[in-house]
Amino acid sequence: MDEGLVRALQQDYKSAPITESERTMLDYVVKLTRDATQVTPEDHDRLRAAGFGDQAILQITLIASWFNYINRVADALGVGRNP
């Protein structure tokens, strides 16, 4: 894995050296993570315009949602916290 890319993504994905398609996907994931009720059909249209088909949009949504869910469960149960 490219350590420089990982650091750039951690600092700010918007300025990281990734494709516009990847940036569009990450914009969607951030919006989904912050407030999924704000996701609109226009967001899906942007993903389609960036080259993602309906199956890919479903997969992106499911994976991001699963990570959001499992992180919240772990946080609520104190997983990883020192006693």
Place of tokens 């894995």: 1
Q: In this predicted structure, what is the pLDDT of residue 1? A: 75
Q: How confident is the model at residue 6 (pLDDT cuts 50, 70, 90)?
A: very high
Q: How confident is the model at residue 40 (pLDDT cuts 50, 70, 90)?
A: very high
Q: 2 is written with which tokens? A: 């490219």
Domain boundaries, the chain: 19-77
Q: Tell me: the pLDDT tens digits for 45-54? A: 999 999 999 9
**Level-2 CATH architecture, domain 19-77:** Up-down Bundle (1.20)
Q: 13 is written with which tokens? A: 């994905």
Mean pLDDT on 47-72? 97
φ/ψ region of 52 (left if φ > 0, alpha if ψ in -120 to 50, else beta) reads beta
- Full-model pTM: 0.87
Whole-number mean pLDDT of the chain? 95
